[in-house]
């Protein structure tokens, strides 16, 4: 997990340094793709006989749509930590800039 966080944070810092502050748009596009894949493949899995897993309870659906818990697709586990990092990155980088200005 630390390698993914480091690489994502590095990419976000490069974007921040270059003046790109479109984090909400970045997340919106990412979640739209995620939701499209959910709405396409969950019904397919249900129709193929996985009725005991898909769609599950309303809580399962809500957790998977928000990416709090990714029981439908375990390989997308990094979406929620990435979302938190992306939303907080501008503030974190401003604090880091302030710290380095005080030290330098």
pLDDT digits (tens, 9 = 90+) for 17-74: 888 778 889 899 999 999 999 999 999 988 998 888 888 889 999 999 999 998 888 8
- CA distances, 88 to each of 41, 43, 84, 85, 91 (Å): 31, 34, 6, 5, 6
Structure tokens at 25: 């748009």
Within a 10 A sphere around the Cβ of 82, how many other Cβ atoms? 20
For residues 33 and 25, the answer to whether their CB atoms sit within 8 Å is: no
pTM: 0.77
The predicted pLDDT at position 103 comes to 66
* Whether the predicted pLDDT of 4 surpasses 70: no
Q: Rounded distance, CA 60 to CA 41, Å?
A: 15
Within a 10 A sphere around the Cβ of 16, how many other Cβ atoms? 19
**Residue 85's closest CA among 19, 16, 18, 38?**
16
* Whether the predicted pLDDT of 9 surpasses 80: no
**Residue 65's closest CA among 23, 25, 37?**
37
């Amino acid at each position: 997990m630390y390698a993914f966080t480091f690489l994502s944070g590095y990419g976000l810092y490069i974007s921040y340094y270059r003046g790109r502050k479109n984090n909400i748009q970045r997340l919106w596009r990412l979640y739209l793709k995620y939701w499209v894949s959910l709405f396409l493949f969950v019904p397919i899995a249900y129709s193929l006989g996985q009725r005991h897993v898909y769609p599950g309870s309303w809580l399962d659906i809500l957790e998977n749509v928000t990416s709090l818990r990714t029981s439908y697709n375990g390989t997308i586990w990094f979406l929620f930590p990435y979302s938190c990092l992306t939303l907080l990155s501008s503030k974190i980088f401003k604090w880091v800039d302030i710290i380095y200005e005080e030290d330098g």
